[in-house]
Chains A and B, each alone.
Chain A
Amino acid sequence: MLKMVQELLHRSQHLVDLYKRQQGPPFNRPGFAMPGLSLRGLPEVPRAEGNQREEAEDDEARLQAEHEAYRGLAHYLRLVLDDQRELNPSGQDLHQELAYFAVNVEGLAVNLGLLLRALGHEGPDGVHLGTGLTGASDWDKKRAGLVVCTRGVQWLRASEGDFSALVSRYN
Chain B
Amino acid sequence: MPSLLLLLSLCLMKQVWSLTPLAVVVPQDPILTIGASLAAMCIVNPEVNEDAQDLYWTLNGMRLPADLYNLVNNSALKVTIHGLNGSRQQSGDNLLCHRSDNRVLAGTCLYVGFPPEKPTNITCWSKNTKDLTCKWNPGGEGESFLHTNYTLKYKLRWYGKENECQEMARAGPNSCYIPKDLALFTPYEIWVEASNKLGTAASDILSLDILDVVTTDAPFDVQVNRVGDLEDQLSVRWSSPPALRDFLFQAKYQIRYRVEDSTEWKVVDDIGNQTLCRLAGLRPGTVYFVQVRCNPVGIYGSRKAGIWSEWSIPTAASTPRNERSSGTCYQKSGESSSNLRRELKQFFGWVKKHAYGCTALNIKLYDQWRVWLQKSHKTRNQPSLTVPPFLFSQNQEVAVFVGLQEDSPGR
A: residues with CB less than 8 A from B are 22-27, 29, 33-40, 87-91, 130, 133-140, 142-144
Nearest-CB residue, chain A, relative to B105? A35
Are A140 and B13 in contact, CB atoms less than 8 angstroms apart?
Answer: yes
Are A23 and B94 in contact, CB atoms less than 8 angstroms apart?
Answer: yes
Interface 1/0s, chain B 128-171, versus A by CB < 8 A?
00000000000000000001010000000000000000000000
The list of the 4 closest CB pairs from A to B, nearest first, reads A26-B61, A25-B61, A24-B89, A137-B28
Are B107 and A90 in contact, CB atoms less than 8 angstroms apart?
Answer: no
B50 interface contact, C-beta 8 A: no
Choose among B12, B22, B92, B109 the residue that contacts A135 (Cβ–Cβ < 8 A): B12
Are A139 and B93 in contact, CB atoms less than 8 angstroms apart?
Answer: no
Cα(A135)–Cα(B12), bound, Å: 8
Nearest-CB residue, chain A, relative to B24? A137
B320 to chain A, nearest CB (A): 52
Nearest-CB residue, chain A, relative to B98? A26
Given contacts A26-B61, A135-B16, A139-B28, contact A88 B109 (CB under 8 A): no
Interface 1/0s, chain B 100-112, versus A by CB < 8 A?
0011111111000
Are A139 and B25 in contact, CB atoms less than 8 angstroms apart?
Answer: yes
Given contacts A37-B19, A90-B147, A137-B109, contact A22 B12 (CB under 8 A): no
B223 interface contact, C-beta 8 A: no
Are B90 and A139 in contact, CB atoms less than 8 angstroms apart?
Answer: no
Among residues 1 to 53 in chain B, which have CB atoms less than 8 Å away from a CB atom of chain A?
12-13, 15-19, 22, 25, 28-29
Are B88 and A139 in contact, CB atoms less than 8 angstroms apart?
Answer: no
Nearest-CB residue, chain B, relative to A136? B16
Are A25 and B105 in contact, CB atoms less than 8 angstroms apart?
Answer: no
Are B147 and A89 in contact, CB atoms less than 8 angstroms apart?
Answer: yes
Cα(A27)–Cα(B58), bound, Å: 12
B27 to chain A, nearest CB (A): 9
A144 to chain B, nearest CB (A): 8
Are A40 and B18 in contact, CB atoms less than 8 angstroms apart?
Answer: yes
B384 to chain A, nearest CB (A): 76
Known: A88-B91, A139-B107. 18 other contacts (CB 8 A): A24-B91, A24-B93, A25-B62, A27-B94, A33-B104, A35-B103, A38-B19, A40-B18, A87-B91, A90-B147, A136-B12, A137-B109, A138-B109, A139-B25, A140-B13, A142-B91, A142-B109, A144-B17
Q: Which residues of B contact A22 (CB under 8 A)?
A: 89, 91
Cα(A145)–Cα(B168), bound, Å: 28
21 pairs, CB–CB < 8 Å, chain A vs chain B: A22-B91, A24-B89, A24-B93, A25-B61, A25-B94, A33-B102, A35-B103, A35-B105, A38-B17, A40-B18, A90-B147, A136-B16, A137-B28, A137-B29, A137-B109, A138-B29, A138-B91, A139-B94, A139-B107, A140-B17, A142-B109
Given contacts A142-B109, A143-B107, contact A26 B58 (CB under 8 A): yes
Are B96 and A26 in contact, CB atoms less than 8 angstroms apart?
Answer: yes
Are B89 and A23 in contact, CB atoms less than 8 angstroms apart?
Answer: yes
Are B61 and A90 in contact, CB atoms less than 8 angstroms apart?
Answer: no
Choose among B15, B92, B105 the residue that contacts A138 (Cβ–Cβ < 8 A): B92
Cα(A91)–Cα(B29), bound, Å: 20
Cα(A40)–Cα(B16), bound, Å: 10
Are B94 and A33 in contact, CB atoms less than 8 angstroms apart?
Answer: no
Q: Which residues of B contact A25 (CB under 8 A)?
A: 60-62, 88, 94
Nearest-CB residue, chain A, relative to B102? A33
Cα(A40)–Cα(B15), bound, Å: 11
Q: Which residues of B contact A138 (CB under 8 A)?
A: 28-29, 91-92, 108-109
Are A133 and B16 in contact, CB atoms less than 8 angstroms apart?
Answer: yes
Q: Which residues of A contact B89 (CB under 8 A)?
A: 22-24, 88
Cα(A38)–Cα(B15), bound, Å: 11
Are A90 and B16 in contact, CB atoms less than 8 angstroms apart?
Answer: no
Q: Which residues of A contact B90 (CB under 8 A)?
A: 87-91
Choose among A27, A29, A139, A144 the residue that contacts B29 (Cβ–Cβ < 8 A): A139
Q: Which residues of B contact A26 (CB under 8 A)?
A: 58, 60-61, 94, 96
A150 to chain B, nearest CB (A): 14
Nearest-CB residue, chain A, relative to B148? A89
Counting chain B CB atoms within 10 Å of each CB, which of A34, A130, A137 scores highest?
A137
A61 to chain B, nearest CB (A): 24
Cα(A88)–Cα(B60), bound, Å: 16
Nearest-CB residue, chain A, relative to B91? A87
Q: Which residues of A contact B28 (CB under 8 A)?
A: 137-139
Given contacts A24-B60, A26-B96, A143-B107, contact A38 B29 (CB under 8 A): no
Choose among A23, A38, A39 the residue that contacts B91 (Cβ–Cβ < 8 A): A23
Q: Which residues of B contact A91 (CB under 8 A)?
A: 90
B127 to chain A, nearest CB (A): 27
Interface 1/0s, chain B 56-100, versus A by CB < 8 A?
001011100000000000000000000000001111111010000
Nearest-CB residue, chain A, relative to B107? A139
Q: Which residues of B contact A33 (CB under 8 A)?
A: 102-104
Cα(A88)–Cα(B107), bound, Å: 18
Are A139 and B108 in contact, CB atoms less than 8 angstroms apart?
Answer: yes
Q: Which residues of B contact A29 (CB under 8 A)?
A: 61
A59 to chain B, nearest CB (A): 30
A160 to chain B, nearest CB (A): 29
